[in-house]
Amino acid sequence: MDGSRDLELIMRSRTPIVVIETQDEARMLELLQSMAIQSASETYTPLFRWTITDGLQRIDISLEPQALNSAPTDVLKHIRAVSKPGIYVLLDFHPFIEDPVHVRLIKDICIQHRNVRRQIVLLSHEIRIPSELESYCARFDMNLPSEQERSRIVKRAVNAYGKDHPGSLVQVDRKAHSLLIHNLAGLSYADTERLARNAIYVDGAISKSDLPGVMQAKYELLNRGGALQFEYDTARFNDVGGLARLKTWLTQRRPAFRREESASHLDAPKGILLLGVQGCGKSLAAKATAGVFGVPLLRLDFGAIYDKYHGETERKLRESLKTADVMSPCVLWIDEIEKGIAGRGGETGTTQRVLGTFLTWMAERKSQVFIVATANDISTLPPELVRKGRFDEIFFVDLPNAKIRASILAIHLTNRQQPLAEFDIEGLAAAMEGFSGAEVEQAIVSALYAAHAKNQPLATQHILQEVGQTRPLSVVMHERISTLRDWAAGRTVPCD
């Protein structure tokens, strides 16, 4: 059943208040105007629109606005006083909805609804209904454009470009065209049309180079809560030293995640939990996972989700997960997941609701969202999260051995345009026993500063000097890290 038919059924049910949260105000008004809405007696019902700027205006026929009813209180009193049926669409009424006088006036209209069928439609981007009015409300969610509708929107944008640029034809890459239609999923009609036009009007073509910009713009439109960070150009695994077993595991599952025909008989992978010592590459591995799969990366920040108002934390989480769904295929990276789902002091009730929301989404999602959760302390995570079936595998990122430390050294020296032949890589790797990947990089950074201060090129001795002055985390936090490594032995899969 399409969205317009659903809306018509709700309007015909004569629920006193219809709540519509949408950014597509113009399209929604068009739908309401186009419907032949009739009451049970088949009497035509007039349609009115109210804005605080123009007041009340009948829009099913062309009449001038009534500026005298522009104040929120005045328009509600007017609606209450009217003795004939009518549908009143109040645009952006949300800032005034919780005023006690307005709540009472709207409730009066609802109570009298059986005698006089006056229906209020609250239309805005976001509406919170006071509890006194909830029982009188029905909510309508407008369906987003289907793939067929998105295809028509892109075609209209192509035709519009031709009219604006006589004699010019839009150059269309068939694969990029298909990907553009797919990547516009999850947006409103207006936003779909705007992004399609932007992609075409930039260079008069639909090509693969348009897709990153479309995805970035789409993310900015969707991420209203600010709890997600977006990265389209993700790191590749040549930026990661070691993690050979994890690399192989991900490479094997790429075709199934991408839903390639060759892997159609395989279950799509759900996600992984990366446990390990701080600074050993968990975060970089999460970024590189998106690179292996060739999809954008979204990072979920639990710190930005928690809110002091009741119910807001769960709402923000649901919105963030919904954004991930419509951004699919993508990798959702949840860094230090224990800080968001393990206990948060006195907020245990909120934490349990957040956990329940997250677990429900994990169990029910159908979208191509691969979860990469990283944790430093698995002992604080609830057992229902780490049980088999939630994640495909739990990997442990340990301190790098000498061979991996050598590869990490080579990567960071190369990234800083240092000639590898002039360094004793094996000697440096041996001297860095117990160093994490982050500590290896920091030793090079500090050595570069020291060499620059002496006006000398970077050399092995500069790095060795910094190594000698550094106490790695494996020494400073020896007991804690040893406990973590002992726990992981036999319980997790080593990344190397």
Q: Is pLDDT larger for residue 301 or for residue 128?
A: 128
Q: Is 230 a member of any domain?
A: no
Last residue of a domain, one of 140, 166, 199: 140
Q: With bands split at pLDDT 50, 70 and 90, how would you rate the model's confidence at 209?
A: confident
Whether the CB-CB separation of 460 and 493 falls below 8 Å is answered with no
Please give the tally of structural domains in the chain.
Answer: 4
Whether the CB-CB separation of 332 and 368 falls below 8 Å is answered with no
Both 413 and 453 in one domain: the answer is: yes
Both 362 and 247 in one domain: the answer is: yes
**Is the confidence at residue 427, as pLDDT, over 90?**
yes
Whether the CB-CB separation of 56 and 50 falls below 8 Å is answered with yes
Can you give the CATH number for the domain in which 418 is found?
A: 1.10.8.60
Both 385 and 419 in one domain: the answer is: no
User: Across residues 439-465, what is the average pLDDT?
Assistant: 93
Q: Which residues contact 188 (CB under 8 A, 6 or more apart)?
A: 22, 23, 24, 27, 142, 144, 145
Whether the CB-CB separation of 359 and 389 falls below 8 Å is answered with no
Both 324 and 389 in one domain: the answer is: yes
| Cα separation values, 205 from 106, 168, 173, 208, 468, Å | 51, 10, 8, 10, 57
Q: Is 493 a member of any domain?
A: no
Whether the CB-CB separation of 93 and 126 falls below 8 Å is answered with no
Q: Which two tokens stand for residue 452?
A: 């620059």
Max avg pLDDT among 176-190, 233-247, 318-332, 422-436: 422-436
**Is the confidence at residue 290, as pLDDT, over 70?**
yes
Q: Which two tokens stand for residue 279?
A: 């600074």
Both 253 and 352 in one domain: the answer is: yes
Whether the CB-CB separation of 225 and 473 falls below 8 Å is answered with no
Give the Cα separation of 118 and 17 in Å (integer).
9
Q: Which residues contact 176 (CB under 8 A, 6 or more apart)?
A: 206, 207, 208, 210, 211
Both 118 and 18 in one domain: the answer is: yes
Give the Cα separation of 82 and 64 in Å (integer).
18
Q: Which two tokens stand for residue 306?
A: 């928690």
Can you give the CATH number for the domain in which 210 is found?
A: 1.10.8
Least confident among 39-48, 120-129, 154-163, 236-245: 39-48
Q: Which two tokens stand for residue 103?
A: 């709540």
Can you give the CATH number for the domain in which 105 is found?
A: 3.40.50.300
Give the Cα separation of 134 and 151 in Å (integer).
38
**Partners of residue 375 on adjacent β-strands:** 275
Both 54 and 131 in one domain: the answer is: yes
Least confident among 115-119, 251-255, 275-279: 275-279
Whether the CB-CB separation of 327 and 317 falls below 8 Å is answered with no
Both 411 and 291 in one domain: the answer is: no
pLDDT tens for each residue of 333-351: 998 888 777 654 444 677 7
Range of the domain at 155: 147-222
Q: Could you check whether the bond before residue 329 is cis, i.e. omega within 30 degrees of 0? A: yes
Residue 51 C-alpha from the chain's centroid: 32
Give the Cα separation of 205 and 169 in Å (integer).
8
Q: Which residues contact 458 (CB under 8 A, 6 or more apart)?
A: 418, 444, 447, 448, 451
The three-state secondary structure class of 200 is helix
